[in-house]
Amino acid sequence: MAEAPSHDAELFRGGRAAIQAAGEPLLRRAQAAGAARPDAAFDDVLRLVAGLTVISFADPGQFERVLTMALDGLRPRPEPAPGLAAPEQP
């Protein structure tokens, strides 16, 4: 247990396959409902979540702020009204 399993280990591959099988349909349904960006791949979401779970935060408030920022990035952006320019992206 002192060392993380290799990405080639059966334990890792089996766990990843289970996460993919559960998560991909959820993301597709969210995208179809307009609740998630259409350009997001499940692997993108998985890496986002993994990044948030391996770092420590100064306090619970900071975690909530960072999580909200991450989720805001996953939400779809509204389409501009016809004839209006799209908002500039940073």
Residue-wise pLDDT tens digits, 26-40: 999 999 999 999 999
Please calculate the CA angle 28-51-12 and round it to the nearest 5 degrees. 75
CA distances from 36 to 26, 32, 43, 45, 71 (A): 10, 8, 14, 10, 9
Which residue did the predictor score with more confidence, 23 or 5?
23
Residue-wise pLDDT tens digits, 37-76: 999 999 999 999 888 888 999 999 999 999 899 988 888 8
